[in-house]
Amino acid sequence: MKSKMKGATIAGAIGATLLVAVAVAQTPAITFRNTITGEVLNFDDALPEGRDTPGVKKFLQTGVNPYNEDKSCLKLGEQIFLSACSGCHGHLAEGKIGPGLNDSYWTYPQNETDEGLFSTIYGGAQASMGPQFVNLSLDDMLKVMAWVRHLFKEEPEKAKWLTDEQRKAFKSYSGHEEFPDDPPGQCKGQAAAK
The site for ligand HEC (CB under 6 A) is made up of: 84-85, 87-89, 97-99, 101, 106-108, 111, 117, 120-121, 125-129, 132, 144, 148
Q: CB of residue 27 vs ligand HEC: minimum separation in angstroms?
A: 24
d(CA 153, CA 159): 10
d(CA 194, CA 42): 32
Choose between 64 and 182: whose C-beta lies nearer to ligand HEC. Answer: 64
Choose between 50 and 99: whose C-beta lies nearer to ligand HEC. Answer: 99
Choose between 70 and 140: whose C-beta lies nearer to ligand HEC. Answer: 140
Q: CB of residue 115 vs ligand HEC: minimum separation in angstroms?
A: 12
Q: CB of residue 175 vs ligand HEC: minimum separation in angstroms?
A: 21
Q: CB of residue 46 vs ligand HEC: minimum separation in angstroms?
A: 14
SS3 33: strand
d(CA 178, CA 45): 35
d(CA 96, CA 87): 8
The phi and psi torsions of 33 (rounded to 5 degrees) equal -125, 145
